[in-house]
Structure 1
Amino acid sequence: MTTTTSHTPESEQPAEGGPVTRPSRLIHTESTTEIPVHLLFRDGPDPAPVPLRPAVVARRQGTGEQPRLRRPVPDRSGTLPRVDPDLVERPARVLPGVVGVLAGVCGAAGCVATAWWTGALPPLAAGAAGLPPAPGTAGTGPAQWAAYAGAGALALFGFGGLARGRTGRAWVLGLFGRYRGTVRRTGLLWVNPLLLRRRVDVRLRHWRSEPMPAADRGGMALRVVVTVVWRVRDTARATLGVEDHETYLRQCVEAALLRLPVEAPGAGQATMDAVCEALTRQVASDTAPVGLEVFAVRPVRVEYAPEVAAAMHRRRIAALDARHRASVLSSVVDSVEDTVTRLTVRGLVELDDYERKALVKDLTVAFCAGRGEPMP
């Protein structure tokens, strides 16, 4: 049920016998809304709570388009990208080197036998090889070319796949862009010559950096030289997970120095050990996803940046001078007090306040002059 109340001013009433005209709207966008009657006579003390609706991003007027809800955006700040979890080091399939040698020798012998068969082998070479004279000139036909190709391919595969594995070295094998395994074995091996080999050093390595920018707890600019003890733990991720794992390690060390405060020159050994431990944890956590294992990151030289080195040197000299003056003044005051106390306690002199002050002044000047220090 709805009620519609309208009031038309006298000036807008239609004239008798004239056409009915609708008054013009003062606001072009005004609209009429029907109000239920029971809401007009409601006398409740507190209005009913209005349910909240989700936030609306945008709505086009007059198009009937439904509102679009705002989707929450996940916060990914402070998280490192993960390397492919399937990219994990696994041993590659290789054969002993003897197999490659035998295959190469058989291929070479097949080439010699085919040349003897076609009559292309000279008699002297055939006699040196222990072969009887050729029965005749057979010529080079399809069968001979097939024998040449098979024997040559066998020789190439046999000798081309030979490799020597060394301690502390590894090969990362790949075929057409896919990871095929890692070879950590030593000695003479045979590896498929079609596979791409990438040599990786898996020994314990020691790297000394160039001066890197850093800051202390007060924000003062520093230059720090660090040594990093590390090694490649997962060759697959270190080689295929990043473009250059050594460059990645250097950038992680630079980021850790900028993120963590480093103690200024002259700090104690315990403080430097705490800084070393914090740097090691930070760099190890950053490089673990790419297969690197970091054992220690230790600052070996800490100095102020060139733009603040002169000012900090003057400040340090002033602090040392003030400390020295304070120690000298303390010793002079102790000596004067001891001298005046002994003179008065033993009864050698009787002094009033004025004479005591004069004696203290004279003794202070004498002791400072004897130490070669100016009066403070």
Structure 2
Amino acid sequence: MAKRKTKRKSTNTKHRKSQNINFKLINILLLIILALIIAIGILIYLIDNKKVEESKKDISKIEKKIKEDITKIQETSEDKLNKYVKNIEVKKDKFEEYTEDLYKEYIHEKTEDKTTNIIKEKKPDTKPKTEEITNIQTEEVSVFHKPLPIQTNKPKLAIVIDDVTTQYQINKINNIGYKTTMSILPPTSRNGSTIEMVNGLPFYMIHFPMEAKYFKGEEQGTLHIKDSYEKIEKRVAQIRDWYPNAQFTNNHTGSKFTQDTEAMDRLFKALTKYNFTFMDSRTTSKSKGKIMADKYNMPYIARNIFLDNEQEFNYIQNQLKKAISIAKKRGYAIAIGHPHDITIKVLRESKPLLKDLELIYVNQLPIL
């Protein structure tokens, strides 16, 4: 019995020890699990904090990027504005010199100053008379061997659009709705070729670049006062070869060239040789165009009004009204404009002002 009790006691002891071990193992396992949970929680917390920090960094980067983009947009806008302003100036320079001489109206007077042989310049009366025009040429005029309608006895107005260099400009001008004379700039690397563009035009002129007193970015092939006759003659011959049907030419810029007697003498000699008639754009009041025209037995043609020294609708239309007044008083007038959108718009929308006039090409002027 004693042995059985001892054995049973021993078994119970072993069982309790086994239970204690199992309990400890369970506790250890629970501790490990708890530790893992805590570790996972800490890890999740750290990850979340890292994400928050990364989010903060991302937000900071985004804010920085937005600020940079705003700065770039501001700088780009300023650059675009500056470039736009510069482009306006470049375009302005490209068209004419924009000196005070362009604002002067030129009137062909019947009387001459015999001491200088230069036509006197007078501004038209503020209230020009609408006298009846008589003795206007009514003969039929040919353009490139194509007959034109017989002219009426209405006052004549020739509107010249200078600096034409693209087909787009030609299309706009053709959509004005009445005769306008296009003056084409010769080919350059900047403007491209204008030779093929004139095909099919009923009439056009050549806008001949000449040296200016104050002008930036002159055209390639510009004539200068120190150019020899051989150089000028070669340039005129080149233009004749490019434009075999051209009959008339007028100066692009040229305030310095056209007031130089010797340079103009060389030019007129070459123009006469290649059968060009010169129209004076009058970029200077000191032009020797009249003197040279008389010397070479060439009719003197000069613009009366520049239309678009200022690119504003009312200004351009008022300039057109001045040209109309001159035409009604003198029998004809020549106005020069450029292929600005606003100029084309004014000409297209001013048809009612022209109802009492005959719109003509330059080669239909009564003085020819």
Query: Could you state the TM-score of these two structures normalised by the residue count of structure 1?
Result: 0.20
Give the greater-gyration-radius structure (CA): 1
Q: Counting helix residues as a fraction of each chain, which structure ranks higher? A: 2
Query: Could you state the TM-score of these two structures normalised by the residue count of structure 2?
Result: 0.20
* Structure showing greater relative contact order (alpha-carbon pairs closer than 8 Å, 6 or more residues apart): 2
